[in-house]
Structure 1
């Protein structure tokens, strides 16, 4: 073969043989395209994180992207799924609605090396933006994480609401046998009953602003805080004069006998209680 027929080697840009800096070899490529070995998972970690401030408007899908970037930046030795499109083994549980803040979001991840949970917490927290805050990481206990998340505790602040009206609306709501409200879904209008899901509801009229405190059972379809407010409007004509501010305070197992919402990480191995 003569020199004139020798083709030059392909251009390389940022380590990518195609020369395409926007291709799968770029530094910010998604985790599902990062070369990896299919190592077995040797440990599962459960993560509690918070959505605060402006980051409460982060959608669940946007959080997933941010969290997968944080896993890479924190150098967490992730286990990967099998198949043609492997992805990091992360299980998300019951995300709060977009626009609601939360102090108690949970996920579980599988890793290929035994890790110190506190070191993982610190590394992930540093890799995520302020407002997406990793509160706690523990080694997974027995059973499935989702089975431990049976109900949520919510605080719904009602700026400008009249305390007596809010309290009366709660009394009327709790006295109702059912409160059918409608939700618009991609498949059309769906009817659900927030009254059946509400385990406890009170109006804290001493708080400023007036705050509803609700414990809502997880069911299918999931009843959201705005649907509890829709129920108050339906049965009592109560409408907050200003947009409410909603925070999920806790998730856990509900005890019907004691009326207590348990901590889903309480029996984690080695956890300080």
Structure 2
């Protein structure tokens, strides 16, 4: 009867929540908030929830998306508040809009990442990034569900830049920290932030002395200017037109 699209964040220690753990927590939050969620048909009905390219476990995010089907219409603003209150702090519901057509997955083809690299000199990182950009391809290995695979980490990277440590203190320690600013297109197999870091290790032997911290800042459609369009904006625009 109604579909709602939701943007949520994974912050702090909750970034270690796996996708499966979040899905269970979200279903419990739906029940606690009294949301009239619709269910699939058959012998084992499931709530109608679809997720769009969830971030890897251990990665923080400000831009995770899902869609739920409802049995009755609700006010998306009230739904956002109720679900946010029902979830643990660190799993934060940031936005909710009525789905006005199209597929949410079709509106997401790239991600914008911020990767903190404490202990790495910005000039060393710049040289590694220059070598990465100059490479025609950067083969890396990763274990997948199909076993260990080798794939190109370079081809999916739309832009990769370094933010000087004096301009961007660490979100964790507050101390100066070299930052990698990264826009990656969604391909198959997916290229994740740790794959790009593996690629920097391949081309420049870059080895961070402490674990990096990655945060997804945005997801959406990559524009010709290299920006990422908000996947919920089209729904807002259709609602605004309907209200005129």
Normalising to structure 2: TM-score of the pair?
0.92
Q: Tell me the CA shift for residue 149 of structure 1.
A: 0.8
CA contact (8 A) 1:180 1:192 kept: yes
CA contact (8 A) 2:100 2:239 kept: no
1:136-163 alpha-carbon deviations (Å, 9 max, x no partner): 0000132100011100000000011111
Normalising to structure 1: TM-score of the pair?
0.82
CA contact (8 A) 2:52 2:64 kept: yes
Query: Equivalents in 2 of 1:155, 1:271: separation in Å?
Result: 32
- Which residue number in structure 2 is paired with residue 121 of structure 1? 80
Determine if the alignment matches structure 1 residue 81 to structure 2 residue 40.
Answer: yes
Determine if the alignment matches structure 1 residue 241 to structure 2 residue 200.
Answer: no
Determine if the alignment matches structure 1 residue 260 to structure 2 residue 227.
Answer: yes
Q: Which consecutive residues of structure 2, in runs of 5 or more, have no partner in the other structure?
A: 169-175
CA contact (8 A) 1:66 1:128 kept: yes
Q: Tell me the CA shift for residue 114 of structure 1.
A: 1.0
Are residues 253 and 186 of structure 1, via their aligned partners in 2, closer, same or farther at CA, if it must alter by over 3 Å?
Answer: closer
Query: Equivalents in 1 of 2:97, 2:217: separation in Å?
Result: 19
- Which residue number in structure 2 is paired with residue 18 of structure 1? none
- Aligned residues: CA RMSD: 1.2
1:37-74 alpha-carbon deviations (Å, 9 max, x no partner): xxxxx110000000000000000000000000000000
The secondary structure found in structure 2 opposite 1:168 is helix
2:111 to 152, 155, 172: 152
Query: Equivalents in 2 of 1:271, 1:246: separation in Å?
Result: 35
2:151 to 192, 207, 214: 192
- Which residue number in structure 1 is paired with residue 89 of structure 2? 130
Q: Tell me the CA shift for residue 259 of structure 1.
A: 1.2
CA contact (8 A) 2:138 2:152 kept: yes
Query: Which runs of structure 1 show a deviation greater than 3 angstroms over 4 or more consecutive aligned residues?
Result: 269-272
Q: Which has the higher strand share?
A: 2
Q: How many residues align?
A: 230
1:14-35 alpha-carbon deviations (Å, 9 max, x no partner): xxxxxxxxxxxxxxxxxxxxxx
Rg bigger for which structure?
Answer: 1
